[in-house]
Amino acid sequence: MTMIALQKKYITGTTIIAHHPGYPYMFFKAMLIVTRSVLLKIPLAESRMITTNSPITPTYNDEDEDENKSGGLPGAMMTKFLEARTIMIFGGIDQKLAERVSTQLLYLDHVNHDPIRIFLNSPGGHVESGDTIHDLVRYISSPVAMIGTGWVASAGTHIFLGVPKEQRFCLPNTRFLIHQPSGGAGGKASDIAIQAQEIVKMRERLARIIAEETGQDVERVRKDIDRDYWMSTDEAKEYGILGTVINKASEVTI
């Protein structure tokens, strides 16, 4: 059965409207539901559904406890944050988080090009997942204010550096960490050698990005990331990672 036929057979009667500004996003989510319903033979009515009660952004059923949580937030609250053009990145950076944040960034940029706020609290994680968010923040047309809180570490710092310095904010008690990438290598000796080479190349790439975004000499960055390099807000500002320490929401200006 073709995608068009699936759309006609399974989407008819739902609340998805083609002229709604969020239609591409909603159709994609709906087709995921339809595909699961067809493959697993689950009645469509029992599948997790996406609706369009909001004129701005799709909402989610609170029953979807796995897919529709953002930083521990239930779907209804996540919808309210999206309406406010606010994205939460809390916890380890992985593929699932990168997919969720990428979807939200692209959706908000599709709706309009008003500013987006990202609150970031992360110990780091998967480098390529961080790369995705870092690059998509630059890819979209909407300006992004990055607001650090708690700790901004490792791959989290990489995401933080995805916006210009004047758009990098943090709350007073935030800590920052830069260091070289690490990873476990296993398998054949030749494969281990290849993985080691890739880590070295990744280390150099990240060092150059940090140097470019902070104004530091790349030689200093290479030395600093050789071990964990922690910074307070004052130190991060002096280093060039941080733009402005804020105490109030009104101080975020882009």
Backbone phi and psi for residue 195, each to the nearest 5 degrees, phi listed first: -65, -40
Determine how many CB atoms are found less than 10 A away from the CB of residue 233: 19
Amino acid at 34: V
Q: Is 179 a catalytic residue?
A: yes
Q: Which of 102, 122, 129, 154 is the catalytic position?
A: 154
Dihedral sign of CA atoms 162, 166, 170, 173 in order? positive
Phi, psi of 117 (to 5 degrees): -110, 135
C-alpha angle 150/238/116, rounded to 5°?
50
Give kind and range of the element (H or E) at residue 120: strand 116-122
Cβ-contact 158, 183 below 8 angstroms: no
Residue in 141, 179, 190, 232 annotated catalytic: 179
Question: Is 154 labeled as catalytic in the residue annotation?
Answer: yes
Per the CB < 8 A criterion, the answer to whether 89 and 65 are in contact is: no
Q: Where are the alpha helices (DSSP H) in the chain?
A: 3-6, 23-40, 75-83, 95-111, 127-139, 155-160, 189-214, 218-224, 233-239
Please choose, from the candidates 63, 79, 73, the residue with its C-alpha nearest in 3D space to the C-alpha of residue 97: 73
CA dihedral (172, 218, 167, 235) in degrees, to 10, reads 20
- Which positions are annotated as active-site residues? 154, 179
